[in-house]
Chain A
Amino acid sequence: DQQVKQNSPSLSVQEGRISILNCDYTNSMFDYFLWYKKYPAEGPTFLISISSIKDKNEDGRFTVFLNKSAKHLSLHIVPSQPGDSAVYFCAASALYGGSQGNLIFGKGTKLSVKP
């Protein structure tokens, strides 16, 4: 039973355009959502997060949108750069419900940004 789903295994975008990565979740107890980025032969690195009291969080070129009613979040990267090419993982947690850091990850979306 996948609680966090990333239905697109891959995404290809032209440099300078917008990349939109999507994530759906099923557990209504999730109240904290994160995106991680992973390069080959490296561990995942934290990118951006959002709590369920917000519907948008922005950090430079990265913006995460949360639609609680649809149990959907998305990561927008504008403008996309070749260095953004990586696997992006969506993760969720029932943080304020006391899950103590038990992050549930999606399977990841491989983003390729072409020059």
Chain B
Amino acid sequence: DSGVTQTPKHLITATGQRVTLRCSPRSGDLSVYWYQQSLDQGLQFLIQYYNGEERAKGNILERFSAQQFPDLHSELNLSSLELGDSALYFCASSGTTSLDAGELFFGEGSRLTVL
């Protein structure tokens, strides 16, 4: 158990819809990262937040947005969903903005299926 909690674990929705994925980082971790893993792809970095502020942005579509709340949990909002958005979405946390010992702690992921 990494200590990172993601909900929901599974989500099935239709094209054009909007969903919100939620992540609670490990207790005390200030940084939250979102990654997308599509079929046969590695983990694609989407966005990082540190203590409520956006710190780094990767290949995140304009239809996607994220935020980190004062209690440090984070939400990833996906809108105008397309079939290609079907993927595993992972949240990870760490103690600071840097990698420290190199360890990001990953949640179990939220599997999104767009029909």
A residues contacting B by CB (< 8 A) are 4, 6, 32, 34, 36, 41-46, 49, 89, 91, 93, 95, 99-108
Contacts and interface: CB of A to CB of B under 8 A. Distances in A.
A46 B104 contact: yes
Interface of B: 2, 4, 31, 33, 35, 40-45, 48, 50, 55-56, 58, 90, 92, 94, 97-99, 101-109
Nearest to B55: A100
B109 to A, nearest CB: 6
21 contacts: A6-B42, A34-B99, A34-B102, A42-B108, A43-B108, A43-B109, A44-B90, A49-B103, A89-B42, A93-B99, A95-B98, A95-B99, A100-B48, A100-B97, A103-B33, A103-B43, A103-B99, A105-B45, A106-B42, A107-B40, A108-B42
Contacts of A100: 48, 50, 55-56, 97-98
Contact of B45 (A44, A104, A107): A104
Nearest to B90: A43
Nearest to B109: A43
Given A43-B92, A100-B97, A105 B106 contact: no
B111 to A, nearest CB: 9
A101 B42 contact: no
Given A43-B90, A95-B98, A103 B108 contact: no
Contacts of A93: 99
